[in-house]
Structure 1
Amino acid sequence: MKDIAPLIKRSLVDQALEQLRWRITEGKWAIGERLPTEPELSAELGISRNTVREAMRVLAFCGLVDIRQGDGSYLRSMTDPLGAMRALSHCTQGQAQETRQILEVEAVGLAAARRTEDDLNGLHEALKASAELYHGDLEAYISADLVFHARLVDAAHNPALSELYQYFSAVIGAQLRQTLNISPRRQAVFDLHIALLDAVEQQDPERAKSICRQLINEP
């Protein structure tokens, strides 16, 4: 028996998303559970398989669903991170800076204690790419800088911190864009990145945290 009414008139993808999100938040499926197949959802929602496929892609992009090629789709989370992103997008520059102090500084301290050789290789690679773009195109530099900072957080080996930072990185990027559009890029600021990586490499959590605070507070 169908528990979802066939969709009509409004954008079918939007309505499919609304219905699927409702089922997820109501606990229809458990996290890790395999979802119904595209033909099953297509029949239940009264829409085409292509529409179902597009809706599932949106859910995967949002982090709610994990699509495994050749295996099916699995529920990854019951909380839509886009809601958190909307809240983050409305925070002030000061609030963003405070959040970064709490999140990134502590993560960097953990990274200094836990980093592996693979982490260091990735960090050196990311910092080199960032250095090559430091005085070049702003958007390219910001993208490279975010990769470096994300790898720092990943080196803490705490998946929850990495996930949080992934969502927060869009706010950091906007903050950097706002700052660097009105202030010149200074070598002294980039040198702090080098010192930060050195502190992580030398496994000195307190020095790494101190440098990270200084870097975040730079105008």
Structure 2
Amino acid sequence: MTLVRREPLADQAAEVLLERIRSGEWPLGAKLPGETTLAPQLGVGRSTVREAIRQLAGRGILATRQGAGVFVVALDAPEDWTRTVARADVRTVIEARIAIEVEAAALAADRRTTTELRTLKKALRERETHRAGIEEHVDTDIAFHRGVVIAAHNPILLDLFDSFTPRNRQAMIEMLRARGTFGDDADHATHERLYDAIARRDRTTAATITRDHLTSLTTKLIR
């Protein structure tokens, strides 16, 4: 039996419980023993067990059901999102953008307001005037695409977009430096066509333009 010996006790107890879940001692859907059983097994008090369970519940591993007990609802804790994004390569970042921005473009065509359309137009002009420096170009490009996601009126898509914007920015800068060229007229025309599709509420064209544009970036990676 593994005992908890080091501080902080609740953190250590949570890790011991997680290891026992990972080992299969308590399968998915299983009910954990009560605090009076777990406390002596772990060598800690009942309050420490409660805190350990609270931690694992916060990580999505356990769930407390009123009047029924504590149950296993996941077999492992997902890796921290920030670390996952930070390690992603350029292709992975672009694939994630496709997953988010294609649907966002379609929703934006359906839901955009007049004010959001004006803001998007302003972002498009800013993008056009910042095509000489890589960092300025990437920043104004991201601002335009974020405007599209805002117009989708889906807070989850916006949170996802914002959560990997730092890695996306770094990846785009790396890719453009490697290519040596960026911000040409054809590329900007694509963004103008996306704006026009959203403006006329053409969700199919908006989604298609976005998918084709981002897919072309992955194609250029292997040239």
- For 1:151, the equivalent position in structure 2 comes to 147
1:17-44 Cα shifts (integer Å, max 9, x gaps): xxxxx99x749xxxxxxxxxxxxxxxxx
- For 2:92, the equivalent position in structure 1 comes to 95
- For 2:125, the equivalent position in structure 1 comes to 128
Alignment size in residue pairs: 146
- For 1:105, the equivalent position in structure 2 comes to 102
| Mapped partners of 1:137, 1:115: distance in 2 | 30
Alpha-carbon offset, residue 215 of structure 1:
1.3
- For 1:7, the equivalent position in structure 2 comes to none
Normalised by the size of structure 1, how large is the TM-score? 0.61
1:121-145 Cα shifts (integer Å, max 9, x gaps): 11001111110001x2211111111
| Mapped partners of 1:171, 1:214: distance in 2 | 22
| Mapped partners of 1:190, 1:217: distance in 2 | 16
| Mapped partners of 1:173, 1:123: distance in 2 | 19
Moved over 4 A (4+): none
Unaligned 5+ runs, structure 1: 5-21, 28-81
Name the aligned partner's letter for residue 215 of structure 1: H
| Mapped partners of 2:116, 2:204: distance in 1 | 19
- For 1:200, the equivalent position in structure 2 comes to 198
| Mapped partners of 1:141, 1:169: distance in 2 | 14
| Mapped partners of 2:92, 2:55: distance in 1 | 33
1:132-179 Cα shifts (integer Å, max 9, x gaps): 001x22111111111111110010001111111111222221221122
Structure 2 residue matching 1:182: 3-state secondary structure = helix
Name the aligned partner's letter for residue 125 of structure 1: K
Alpha-carbon offset, residue 217 of structure 1:
2.0
| Mapped partners of 2:200, 2:165: distance in 1 | 26
Unaligned 5+ runs, structure 2: 1-7, 9-50, 57-78
Query: Relative to structure 2, which stretch is displaced further, 91-100 or 107-116?
Result: 91-100
- For 1:166, the equivalent position in structure 2 comes to 162
Q: Percent identity?
A: 28
Alignment of 1:67-106 (within 5 A): 83-106=80-103
